[in-house]
Amino acid sequence: MPLWPEPNRPAVERAVTAHREAHGVDATHAGSAPATWELVGEHTDVYGGVVITGLASLRVGVAASPRHDDAVTVRVLQTTVTQDVVTAEDSTTYSKLAEQFAAMPAEVDESGLPHRPAAPTGGLAARLGGVVWMMINRQVLSRDTPGWDFTIVSDIPPHAGLGAGAACDAAVAIAMLSGHSDIDEAPLRTRVTEICTQAVTAFSALPVAHARHAASVRGSGQTVSVLNYADGSLTQAPHPLNRELCGFVIAVPGTEPRTIPARTDSMESALPELRARRSFLQAACRAFGTESLRALPDAESRVIDWLDAVHAVHGAENRPTLAAARAWLDFYAAETNRALQVASTLRSRSGAALFPLLSDSQAALHRDFHLDAADQLVDLARMRGAAAARAACGGLAAAAIAFVPGAKATNFAADLAADGLIVTPLSAGDPACAHQLGD
């Protein structure tokens, strides 16, 4: 299996060309956004934890033109490891999105108790159309905004834990703001981040990726973004990758080429469990009137006492056991502490101290949080010379991120590719941006 190919022409340029060929009109808006990779902490956001996210050089390019109705069409051209292109199409309307949003069940039942509503089932058109619809309803775009035809070119390997879906969200949102006077200002970009996450939560069958949205829209290619969900802050820390330390994403290839909307077998098994954990934490926050459990003193003991009381009064059906809840809370607290230590390590430039923290996080994903943490890929990477390796997106992707000494990088990549795995070098990327189109 060859290395994942570096594009010889920007994705957004190819999207503009493909849009003209498919729709017979020139695109009026264009944008692009980077792949993102999670260094540590990616499951702790709902707890109020800390997530550290980097940008990669591979990008998604979006070209768009307005329609004369309220339809949203999406045509995806996905690059494959053999440099072929897989195409998929999807569509929806603003009317359908409005109906779907209005029909969303409350997360609290008639008696005031939390319950877990069914997850949305929308594909990529619902997800990206939902971003535009949400921008309209959040008054970022005019209510006269028409429907759109979108053409997307993605050079990001799908289902390798590199946030291809989040890159699409960000690229569409930023493209829609092309020409806006505040497009590079932090307040507007913060709103865009929140809107993308809200749209995914409401309309997409695939999971929320707030940290990826935030890093993609507000991050920097020369640093990694440190998102602290206890206070909502986003700061930057020195990038861990340099000449002495290279990064690679190692992924198991699928039997068939896939595009961004598809769900994997690992997602099918992990998504319901991850949604249950997120729902439990949200219910606990509502019960104690707090934005995050990190802001709640003695959170673990108080939440367990609350859950015990709920069991006693309303039963344990469709609620976690006390043992499971305690294990989740232990993991969230420990992983948040590890992420804080990783940020401190990066800022103090104590490179060698990073590896034990990442190894501890990898072990905890499997042992304490009970997710498929790509253990075999991690073990293989370490056998082949990686200083450390960690699941790229625990439970949701058969992929791992390997950190390899620079002197071993070339042989490492060649050996893993020869093993039949998809190997993608991690190079620094730039945040989402709009692209000006010629007259």
Maximum Cα–Cα distance across the chain: 68
Burial class (CB in 10 A: 0-12, 13-18, 19+), 317: exposed
What is the pLDDT at residue 19?
A: 98
Position 327 pLDDT exceeds 90: yes
pLDDT of residue 238: 96
In total, the chain counts a number of residues equal to 439
pLDDT at 413 over 70: yes
Residue 107 reports pLDDT greater than 80 = no
Q: What is the pLDDT of residues 86-102, one digit of tens each?
A: 999 999 999 999 999 98
Mean pLDDT for the chain? 91
The residue with greater pLDDT, 271 or 299, is: 299
Residue 281 DSSP label: H
Average pLDDT of the residues in 307-336:
93
Q: What is the pLDDT of residue 163?
A: 94
> How high is the pLDDT of residue 319?
87
Tokens of 419: 């093993």
The rounded distance, in Å, linking the Cα atoms of 258 and 86 is 7
Centre a 10 Å sphere on the Cβ of residue 339 and count the other Cβ atoms it contains.
24
Q: How far apart are CA 39 and CA 37, in angstroms?
A: 6
* Residue 294, C-beta contacts closer than 8 angstroms, at least 6 positions apart: 47, 48, 49, 229, 230, 336
User: Bridge partners of 303?
Assistant: none
101: how many CB neighbours lie within 10 A of its CB?
17
CA distance 431 to 392: 20
Which value, in Å, is the radius of gyration of the alpha carbons in the chain? 21
> Do β-strands 433-434 and 29-40 pair in parallel, antiparallel, or remain unpaired?
antiparallel
Residue type (1 letter), 181: S
pLDDT at 104 over 80: no
pLDDT of residue 257: 58
Q: C-alpha distances in angstroms, 66 versus 112, 132, 246?
A: 43, 12, 42
pLDDT tens-place string over residues 193-244? 999 999 999 998 887 789 999 999 999 989 999 999 999 999 999 999 998 9
Contact 35, 334 (CB under 8 A): no
Given this model, what pLDDT does residue 179 score?
Answer: 87
Q: Do 164 and 25 touch, CB atoms closer than 8 A?
A: no
Q: Is the pLDDT of residue 320 over 60?
A: yes
Q: Enter the tokens of residue 135.
A: 């921008």
pLDDT at residue 411, as a whole number: 96
Query: Is pLDDT of 122 > 90?
Result: no
In this prediction, residue 394 has a pLDDT band, given cuts at 50, 70 and 90, of: confident
Which is more confidently placed, 436 or 63?
Answer: 63
Look at residues 365, 361, 362, 344 and name the one whose alpha carbon lies nearest to residue 353. 344
> What pLDDT sits at residue 273?
86
Higher-pLDDT residue of 336, 352: 336
Nearest to residue 207, comparing CAs of 416, 396, 24? 396
Q: How confident is the model at residue 271 (pLDDT cuts 50, 70, 90)?
A: confident
- Tell me: pLDDT of 439 over 60: no
CA pair distance 316, 319, nearest whole angstrom:
5
Q: Which H or E element spans position 424? A: strand 422-426
DSSP 293: G
| CA atoms of 264 and 270, how far apart (whole Å) | 10
Q: How far apart are CA 101 and CA 85, in angstroms?
A: 33
* pLDDT at res. 374: 92
pLDDT of 132: 98
What is the per-residue pLDDT for 293?
95
Task: Tell me which residue of 244, 276, 294 sits closest to 45, measured CA to CA.
Answer: 294
Q: How confident is the model at residue 82 (pLDDT cuts 50, 70, 90)?
A: confident
Query: What is the pLDDT at residue 70?
Result: 95
**Tokens standing for residue 426:** 């991690």
Amino acid 362: pLDDT: 96
Q: How far apart are CA 399 and CA 148, in angstroms?
A: 34
Strands 85-93 and 71-79: antiparallel
Give pLDDT, residue 270: 80
Q: Which of 220, 222, 221, 225 is nearest to 210 (CA)?
A: 225
- State the DSSP H helix or E strand holding residue 381, giving kind and residue range, or none if neither: helix 375-383
The whole-angstrom separation of Cα 422 and Cα 439 is 40
